[in-house]
Chain A
Amino acid sequence: MTLNILVAVKRVPAPGAKIVLTEDAQRIDTKHLGFTVSPHEECAVEEAVQLVGKHGGSSTVITLGPPVAEEQLRTAISMGIDHGVLVETDEQEWDALATAAALTDAIQTLEADGDRFDLILFGNESADAGNYQVGIRVAHALDRPVVSGIKAIEPTDARATMKRAVADGFEVLDLPLPAVAAIKEGINLPRYPAMRGRLLAKKAQIRRLTPQRRDGGMRRVRLHHPPQQQAQTQMLGTGADAAPAVAALFEEVGLL
């Protein structure tokens, strides 16, 4: 059985040890930042490439974002994804309801043109907004089964078993295809794109779709930093000489 797989990713800034906000507190100041996708989504891309490599078929990456989000599509293509689709927005961030509605429309457009996706993969949650819901909303709108937190996928004849970690072990779920899964980091180790992949990605055709924006009911007032919890670090010494002081700390905390 061959597999036709769609992967959804989101372009986000890659902040370092500190996040700087713009003066109006409406967004992260990205002047000095690069952009990436969440590790969950990187793993979803890798999983699609591996599954298609093993079972045959084709893979597509889709993103809802501004024109510059093409960069994230091309990165996915350089890792081995076949096609890219940009659902093009302005610079504004769309909330989960609006994003899910627009992605659903886009998927219906792609499927009306003959693509039938056996699997649609999302990241478990985006790195910035962390809404934990876009994949599930799209699945409901398309009337397909969906599970989150997935760390293994094994397709078998029109079905798939999927595995996820739970507090004290793991559970395996069984789903009919077509299905939707929200992927968690740890499912695989994403590859570093090879030179050939990067050259292909540069030339790849990106399909563009124009979405309708629906009101999602949430309006941002401002972003801010949580109050600083800790001011002063207490030094317990240097190197091996600090062992007694650290052991004393263990005693103080009640571990010894």
Chain B
Amino acid sequence: MSLILTLSELDGDTLARSSRETLTFARSLADAHGWDLHAVAVGEIPDTAMADLRAQGVAVAHALLHDQLDGDAAPAAIAAAINELHDRLGAGALVGSGTDHAAEVMAHVAARTDLPLASNCTEVAPADGGWDLTRVRWGGVLLEDVHLEADVALLTAAPHQTAAADAVSPGAAELHSFKPELDESLHITRVVERASRGGGISLATAPVVISGGRGVGSAEGFGILEELAELLGGAVGCSRVATNNGWRSHNDQVGQTGTRVAPDLYVACGISGATQHWVGCMSAKKILAINTDPEAPMVTRAHYAVIGDLHELLPALVTEVKNRRGVG
């Protein structure tokens, strides 16, 4: 056992930010064990992504090549391929990101190998022949220290918890192609259609999120949030109360059962700051709360706050922003 295999995902030609965070997380464990850091990705790995892998200290990059993995592979097939690779390499640990896709692949790997899988870890270190790790519970409001005993450590890294940092010395990132056998029966789950929202700024990656809760009061009430978000080049988010009332689509929901965001600025309009909402926005660099209640948890936890009615502030703010821009 002398290596850690890390599942890496691409974002266009580069390594996804979540995968860079995960490699940095995995590297600390590799260093503690004195193991090599390997990466595995589905399909050909472009040069720019290879450069990212090198910077992260990756010794070997495995490209999984198979017809069944072209474009429309379900996580079950990717997991089967990773499993074959793992059988070949004998990795001491398998690590993926805690993103929807990677977490699903890792769960399939865990089910196939019948090994325990520790989800959304923030820290890990070898201890007593196993591992001591810290993982996220309740979406991030609580941490759990766990001792893991297993032949191989299966882990996912909690998103936004480890800042991606380059290795002190870059890795060789030797490129190996791996052609898994893959059982035909894995074909039974396939992606038959894929549609892009087309344009627009996605909630998960927007630099600023203007989010509304019960205080917004109606679907129409979100109009002014839309206007502000558009002016600032951001996206509109919402609380579960807004989705449950049918004011917004669940795709806009921020929180434990919605999307986790990490923008430069998160503006919470009429949102109380329940724990399940807070965990979705706490990774924002700055948080501004707009609320009538100075005691609301969102206000007391935010970096900045305005006390007052959002229906009064937001129109004034849109005018102010337009003036400073010299438009309207």
Contact = CB atoms under 8 A, between A and B. Distances in A.
Interface string A191-219: 00000000000000000000000001111
Contact of B138 (A40, A127, A141): A127
A247 interface: yes
A236 interface: yes
A1 interface: no
Interface stretch (A65-73, A80-88, A161-169): A161-169
Contact of B107 (A95, A132, A254): A132
B251 A165 contact: yes
A97 interface: yes
Contacts of A141: 111
B111 A137 contact: yes
A109 B269 CA distance: 50
A222 B141 CA distance: 14
Interface string B226-241: 0000001110000010
A229 B262 CA distance: 14
B240 A39 contact: yes
B148 interface: yes
A219 B76 CA distance: 28
A69 to B, nearest CB: 19
A172 B165 CA distance: 36
Contacts of A219: 146-149
B303 A234 contact: yes
A104 B162 CA distance: 35
B132 to A, nearest CB: 8
Given A96-B116, A172-B191, A255 B232 contact: yes
Contacts of A60: none
A149 B249 CA distance: 15
B218 interface: no
B304 A234 contact: yes
Interface stretch (A11-19, A49-57, A111-119): A11-19
Contact of A243 (B116, B147, B316): B316
Interface in B270-324: 272-276, 278, 282, 285-289, 297, 299-309, 312-313, 315-317, 319-321, 324
B202 A168 contact: yes
B104 A239 contact: no
B138 A169 contact: no
Name the interface size band of chain A.
35 or more
Interface stretch (B31-39, B174-182, B253-261): B253-261
A33 B320 CA distance: 44
Interface in A209-256: 216-226, 229-230, 233-240, 242-247, 249-251, 253-256
**Which of A184, A238, A243, A244 is most buried by chain B, counting CB atoms within 10 A of its CB?**
A243
Name the interface size band of chain B.
35 or more
A238 B307 contact: yes
**Which of A28, A125, A238, A246 is most buried by chain B, counting CB atoms within 10 A of its CB?**
A246
A256 B103 CA distance: 37
For the complex, would chain A's binding face be called helix, strand, loop or mixed by DSSP majority? mixed
Contact of B274 (A17, A167, A189): A17
Contacts of B197: 168-169
Given A133-B111, A136-B108, A230-B303, A186 B249 contact: yes
Nearest to A12: B138
Contacts of A100: 111
A173 B192 contact: yes
Nearest to B308: A239
Given A223-B143, A239-B308, A250-B321, A185 B257 contact: yes
Nearest to A39: B257
A140 to B, nearest CB: 4
B272 A233 contact: no
Interface stretch (B19-27, B45-53, B85-93, B117-125): B117-125
Interface in A7-54: 15-19, 21, 28, 38-40
Q: Give the top 3 A-B pairs by smallest Cβ distance, nearest first.
A: A186-B250, A239-B308, A140-B111
Given A185-B243, A256-B325, 17 more contacts: A16-B274, A21-B142, A131-B117, A133-B111, A148-B100, A151-B250, A168-B197, A185-B240, A186-B251, A217-B115, A222-B145, A238-B307, A239-B307, A239-B308, A243-B320, A247-B321, A253-B286
26 contacts: A16-B275, A17-B297, A21-B142, A97-B114, A125-B119, A136-B107, A137-B110, A148-B75, A169-B195, A172-B192, A174-B192, A186-B249, A218-B116, A219-B146, A219-B148, A219-B149, A221-B132, A222-B145, A223-B142, A230-B287, A235-B305, A235-B306, A239-B312, A253-B264, A253-B285, A254-B264
